[in-house]
Amino acid sequence: MASSPPSSSSSSEEATTSSNGSASVVQFSKYSRRATLRSIVGRPDGGLGLSGKRAVVGGWVKSANVVKAKRGGGAMSPPRMPATDTTGLTCTEVLMARVPLIRCIAKLIAGASTVDKASSSVSYKLGPVTALVRINDGSCVPDLQIVVDSSLCPLEQVTAIGASVLVEGKIELVEGKNQKRVVELRVDKVLHIGAVNIDNKYPLPNVELLPPDELIKDYPQLAPRTTAMASAARVRSEMVHAAHTFFQTNGFFHVNTPIITTTTVAGDRRKMFRVMQPTSKSDNRAITPEVVRASIKAKTKQIEALERSESNKEALEAAELDLQRASELAQQLEQQGSADFSDDSFQHPLYLSPDHILHLETYACALSSVYTFSPAFQAESLEPNKHLAERWTIDAELAFAELEDAISCAVDYLMWLLCTVSKNCSDELKFLSTKENNGNNFHINSVVSSPWERITYNEAVNTLLQVKDKSFEAKVELGMPLSLEHMSYLVDDYYKKPVIIYEYPKQLKPFYARLMEDETKVSAFDIVVPKVGIVACGTQKEERMDKLTARIDDLSLPRDQLEWYLDIRRHGTVKHSGFSMDMEQLILLVTGLDK
């Protein structure tokens, strides 16, 4: 029968102890051949309660130190060992390595029985050479120190940064006071070592912090092993889970909208990625030079019409681009006679969807409350570095809901996200704010404790126009977009808290935003957060068929591409509103990082 329903987020992870005292072991993680570090050093007591238990643990080496048990012989590095971090060593450890005689005397005085006393700290016998190795398996921020004797394996293998180890041993209290570390594992069996090839020195110099950009570019596959990247990944995972929990709890249904699309009106087509289907020899399209010439003629007329009418610049540019492509194709065809267009050129060019809003509406107008967590594609720049081309976004859409409802939902969601993540990822957030953020500790509480400001676009512009002590690069003017600098001034300097800006001039928002009574503004909002910028954009959608088609015609958008979208209004239209959030922006919001 099925596994019993999970009750808490760490139930199966938690280390449990068997009832028969000294033979007790820390249970394996479910589906894995070791206990996770989260179930040992990730416990609130740092592993204290597990002292004396046996455990199998695995992980990758973060740092290591070798202590040689010779009189006067201090900690020394083996040949070829990468730079190690010795700050983690306790005084006791060093002392024990340096003065074995003292240790032996202490042991004799204390008597042999202390060795088996599980709940007190243990004096173990250090071999002639012993490695103190900090490992981490990516399940939590703290590392576990394992103590490996040279009789068990060649120490240079187990001390090489990046090596993976799977070892068995006994959890023991760390002697002395060490705020960071309560227990360590005294290894008595090495089960597996994934060595680091000596010829291929581990390429990341720092196992904690984010690698420099050029190393991330060369070794993206190893970057998640740094504490910083792993912490960010765990925070992101918690955020994804929190998103699903929030929406499912509030009666939303998760849907997936198409990613390959023929609709180009949602985003800026010049930034959209085109998709080519695999070539097939049997798949020849009958595109002749005549067809293309006719198409060019039609497109030219369209551009002339656009130039005559008072239309928007984007539509005209798109049409010109279209014409240009047609001309290039015509040229090719003239030379070759015919072409095999694997991408269905002209017929149904395919693109990667730049957002999910239009398709999400079709689900909202059937299931009422829906959300999606999907990738959206847009070439942010034409530079070779296109890291931001894929953006995962969270989009929600509600039927029978107006702008105010979408704002409430977006605000509640952000609050929920901040509270959940700050509760469940406190170690990660602390690490990131102190190590990666130059000690600039980011207080989520300051964002969630005071009510957020709500202002209209007009109020925002008027506030900016009255600013005397600062000059903006972009001119502040009613009807013009707010620049990043403008928004930063409002949230960072003026209100000093998140600001919800709503009621935008219609030319600043997409065609589907609902026209307000004055016919110049639309029901739309942005949530702007200090240091991060815009984290959410939302709109109430235009549900009135006549207003929507008028707007489409005004903007000279290709009506034929939108017939399916208009169908939602034709057949039982409903007021609906929604919002979109960019996952990467949310991560900046939650972690307080600035990159």
Rounded Cα distance between 135 and 53, Å, is 19
Which positions from 67 through 126 interact with a copy of itself, judged by CB under 8 A?
Answer: none
Candidate residues 154, 176, 212, 220; the one interacting with a copy of itself per rule CB under 8 A: 220
Nearer to a copy of itself, 401 or 528 (CB): 401
Nearer to a copy of itself, 364 or 461 (CB): 364
Which positions from 168 through 197 interact with a copy of itself, judged by CB under 8 A?
Answer: 192, 194-197
Rounded Cα distance between 38 and 27, Å, is 12
Candidate residues 176, 224, 479, 481; the one interacting with a copy of itself per rule CB under 8 A: 224
Which positions from 52 through 71 interact with a copy of itself, judged by CB under 8 A?
Answer: 58, 60-61
Q: What are phi and psi of 462, to 5 degrees?
A: -65, -40
By the rule CB under 8 A, 319 interacts with a copy of itself: no
Nearer to a copy of itself, 229 or 589 (CB): 229
Sign of the CA dihedral with 439 first, then 440, 446, and 448 last: negative
> Which tokens in the block code for residue 38?
């989260």
Rounded Cα distance between 95 and 109, Å, is 18
Name residue, tokens 């010049």. Answer: 270
Q: Under rule CB under 8 A, how many of the chain's residues touch a copy of itself?
A: 130
Candidate residues 400, 446, 478, 519; the one interacting with a copy of itself per rule CB under 8 A: 400
By the rule CB under 8 A, 362 interacts with a copy of itself: yes
By the rule CB under 8 A, 258 interacts with a copy of itself: yes
Which positions from 568 through 587 interact with a copy of itself, judged by CB under 8 A?
Answer: 568-575
Rounded Cα distance between 193 and 280, Å, is 48
Candidate residues 365, 513, 528, 589; the one interacting with a copy of itself per rule CB under 8 A: 365
Candidate residues 85, 405, 492, 554; the one interacting with a copy of itself per rule CB under 8 A: 405
Rounded Cα distance between 396 and 247, Å, is 9
Candidate residues 185, 287, 292, 409; the one interacting with a copy of itself per rule CB under 8 A: 409
Continuous segment of H or E residues that includes residue 89: none
Neighbours of 502 (CB within 10 A): 23
What torsion do the CA atoms of 454, 458, 464, 467 make, to the nearest 10 degrees? -100
CB of 193 to a copy of itself, least distance (A): 9
Candidate residues 77, 178, 368, 483; the one interacting with a copy of itself per rule CB under 8 A: 368
The contacts of residue 543 (CB under 8 Å, 6+ apart) are 514, 569, 573, 574, 575, 576
CB of 552 to a copy of itself, least distance (A): 16
The contacts of residue 34 (CB under 8 Å, 6+ apart) are 28, 55, 56, 57, 58, 137, 166
Nearer to a copy of itself, 115 or 233 (CB): 233
Which positions from 505 through 544 interact with a copy of itself, judged by CB under 8 A?
Answer: 543
Angle at alpha carbon of residue 59, lines to 233 and 149, rounded to 5°: 155
Candidate residues 12, 17, 92, 345; the one interacting with a copy of itself per rule CB under 8 A: 12
Candidate residues 390, 493, 519, 594; the one interacting with a copy of itself per rule CB under 8 A: 390
Contact 528, 499 (CB under 8 A): yes
Q: What are phi and psi of 533, to 5 degrees?
A: 100, -150
Which positions from 273 through 302 interact with a copy of itself, judged by CB under 8 A?
Answer: 273-280, 282-283
What torsion do the CA atoms of 360, 362, 365, 368 make, to the nearest 10 degrees? -30
User: How large is the C-alpha radius of gyration of the chain?
Assistant: 31
Beta bridge partners of 35: 57
Name residue, tokens 């051949």. Answer: 33
CB of 37 to a copy of itself, least distance (A): 9
Neighbours of 429 (CB within 10 A): 23
Candidate residues 363, 457, 502, 511; the one interacting with a copy of itself per rule CB under 8 A: 363
What's the start-to-end Cα distance of the chain, in Å? Answer: 47
Which of 273, 259, 275, 270 lies closest to 350 in space, CA to CA? 275
CB of 329 to a copy of itself, least distance (A): 12
CB of 135 to a copy of itself, least distance (A): 10
The contacts of residue 20 (CB under 8 Å, 6+ apart) are none
Nearer to a copy of itself, 124 or 202 (CB): 202
> Which tokens in the block code for residue 291?
């067809």
Considering only the C-alpha atoms of the chain, give the largest distance between any 2 of them, rounded to a whole number of Å: 102
Candidate residues 17, 178, 271, 467; the one interacting with a copy of itself per rule CB under 8 A: 271
CB of 543 to a copy of itself, least distance (A): 7
Nearer to a copy of itself, 315 or 364 (CB): 364
Which of 164, 156, 149, 151 lies closest to 198 in space, CA to CA? 156
Stretch near a copy of itself under the rule CB under 8 A, chosen from 84-92, 122-130, 395-403, 531-539: 395-403
By the rule CB under 8 A, 379 interacts with a copy of itself: yes
Candidate residues 33, 70, 125, 559; the one interacting with a copy of itself per rule CB under 8 A: 33
CB of 409 to a copy of itself, least distance (A): 4
Which positions from 437 through 466 interact with a copy of itself, judged by CB under 8 A?
Answer: 448-449
CB of 118 to a copy of itself, least distance (A): 26
By the rule CB under 8 A, 213 interacts with a copy of itself: no
Stretch near a copy of itself under the rule CB under 8 A, chosen from 175-183, 251-259, 304-312, 533-541: 251-259
By the rule CB under 8 A, 338 interacts with a copy of itself: no
Candidate residues 179, 335, 466, 471; the one interacting with a copy of itself per rule CB under 8 A: 335
Note the residue count of the chain: 595
Stretch near a copy of itself under the rule CB under 8 A, chosen from 88-96, 110-118, 426-434, 565-573: 565-573
CB of 308 to a copy of itself, least distance (A): 26
Rounded Cα distance between 454 and 457, Å, is 10
Which of 177, 247, 256, 543 lies closest to 409 in space, CA to CA? 247
CB of 83 to a copy of itself, least distance (A): 16
